[in-house]
Structure 1
């Protein structure tokens, strides 16, 4: 992740800091550039329009503001937004109503996956952006794995986890496979490996083989490893992200730049890349904010990500929850909302 270079907030005069704050807050509220006329009408600014324009020009020369060619007003650059978020923005707590909505939505009876999906949908609704939740990686325990012959050189691995999930995967077989090897491999898995995670099952099998305790011949042993590997590989590569509310990103401002919208939606389709980005927030003590090109994934679409890790009862980070939206997100409002959602999810994780 690249980090933008910005001048320290202490280098700005009190007057420049106040003008800068008003421009950023005005832009976040309206999504449009803020001009000197609007600023001069603010009761907290006791400056002439000429003086305000001079300050705006100074802030632009510092790379904190930009002037679109279609408007005389200014809007914050990504560097300006970073300075605002780090040095000026004051984050308040979520409202009691927002906290009640969050707790009510994610505390419905059902599996933890349902709560995670509800959290993503709820954040999307409250922030008018896309809500994202990284699902905890949980290695399933085997309840049943059966290998069923399909055709020469192919078998179907029927996989049943302890949570009742059933999946089927195709397994390639050696051409010289002996008769009965599939049944022997299935019987071994059912008798010895039920109730174990994939990693535990593989370790037990190899330990028994090394100590001479296993009655499996080479062909059956190979089949057991193939059957376990096809599930293990799928679990590791499966996208572990829930994204809800992409349509919220198609606001009027976004529709004026269809190329940016297309880029953003393409980015969101690549869930593994989004998950990789959220992984960067796993080690954070609190909420992380990625603005625009600070992350490569959303560099072209100019989007921001606000993400917070959530932990289990032992304090271990098990996932990340967050929001993806335009760079003019209301950071001061969204940050505590994401943070409270992460805390609430943590209470549900065993």
Structure 2
């Protein structure tokens, strides 16, 4: 565990900040000669301070003859105690606003992800709330005693299938009757609206449909709707940004990261960890299990709906060698811009 920033002397804080900033900019170990021209200390004094910082777990050196690089604990200390997030630059704000202003929500979310990716040179990600499916058609395919395959077709052409267990004695004609009713009378409604309408029909008996079959379909709609709300949409843009000149020296790490980006459910689970925060959450290297192997960082912030509830998360995924002071404000600003759009 790294020491609090307040426990470092002024000289140690100065050297530590310079090492981290130089490493983030260059991506290479930082030696005392590089810093000698920026502080009024001899290379020997700088090496002494860097050694002490290494003993405190804030710096490390990858090779015996190389300079130092920050450890993950050192980067965390830098991010939490030294870097202060401000608004992104005027030009960056204009790019973000231009990409999402006066756009349909789905397009704005995709554009915001692409804008973040381009501005940060990372992979941009957003967890978008899943729009509730609108009904077009419902049908059943008998599978055998006590089971049938329910086929639900949405207005957008998406098809959802699931096997349903039938109550004892339920005949295929009863299911077909309810399916025809749903297709002819409830088409165009959301699942919530269709369920409510069907339950009204069950309660008031205004249609000659089998009550057991109708109840089975209504309950199925409720489950479908609940399952859908738990399967948010993940948009990823800019994976190619992760393969740059600096990455050429560490292709194994990049390959691992690209493999990790294929596991979308795990990415969503990780980003969901940012839902409870008021602003940006930063996961550095092994602080998150998913990207521990590739040594990557995640910066993410929640955005809210019209009633102030968190409805999604936006962020970037990239190497630990990120310009946090520049990228964090961009992610935070994008989340705020999306919140304004949703309001």
2:187, 2:262 → 1: CA distance? 36
Alignment partner, residue 115 of structure 2:
122
1:19, 1:247 → 2: CA distance? 34
Aligned counterpart for 2:210 among listed residues 217, 238, 247: 217
Alignment partner, residue 165 of structure 1:
156
Shift of 1:212: 7.6
Contact 1:89 1:332 in 2 (8 A): yes
1:256 maps onto 2:252 in alignment = no
How many matched pairs? 339
TM-score by length of 2: 0.87
Contact 1:267 1:298 in 2 (8 A): yes
Shift of 1:258: 2.9
Shift of 1:105: 0.8
Shift of 1:267: 1.5
TM-score by length of 1: 0.86
Taking a change above 3 Å as real, the CA distance of residues 104 and 55 of structure 1, as seen in their structure-2 partners, is same
State the Cα deviation string for residues 262-312 of structure 1 (Å, max 9, x = none).
221121111111111111111101111111111111111111111111112
Alignment partner, residue 346 of structure 1:
339
Alignment partner, residue 18 of structure 1:
14
Shift of 1:167: 1.9
State the Cα deviation string for residues 192-222 of structure 1 (Å, max 9, x = none).
7567653565577568758888854366337
Contact 2:130 2:231 in 1 (8 A): no
Shift of 1:168: 2.1
1:145 maps onto 2:137 in alignment = yes
2:75, 2:27 → 1: CA distance? 13
1:226, 1:316 → 2: CA distance? 27
Contact 2:139 2:180 in 1 (8 A): no
Secondary structure of 1:126's counterpart equals helix
1:198, 1:290 → 2: CA distance? 37
Secondary structure of 2:158's counterpart equals strand
Q: 265-274 or 236-245, which moves further after superposition?
A: 236-245
2:22, 2:242 → 1: CA distance? 20
Secondary structure of 1:257's counterpart equals helix
Contact 1:130 1:246 in 2 (8 A): yes
Alignment partner, residue 269 of structure 2:
276
Taking a change above 3 Å as real, the CA distance of residues 65 and 188 of structure 1, as seen in their structure-2 partners, is same
Contact 2:202 2:211 in 1 (8 A): no
Contact 1:309 1:318 in 2 (8 A): yes
Secondary structure of 1:94's counterpart equals coil
Task: Trace 1:35-184 onto structure 2 (pairs within 5 A).
Answer: 35-42=31-38, 45-69=39-63, 71-109=65-103, 111-140=104-133, 142-147=134-139, 149=141, 157-160=151-154, 164-172=155-163, 178-184=171-177
Aligned counterpart for 1:32 among listed residues 17, 28, 31: 28
Shift of 1:346: 1.0
State the Cα deviation string for residues 151-188 of structure 1 (Å, max 9, x = none).
8776562422xxx4222234547698635334311244
Contact 1:185 1:223 in 2 (8 A): no
2:229, 2:86 → 1: CA distance? 38
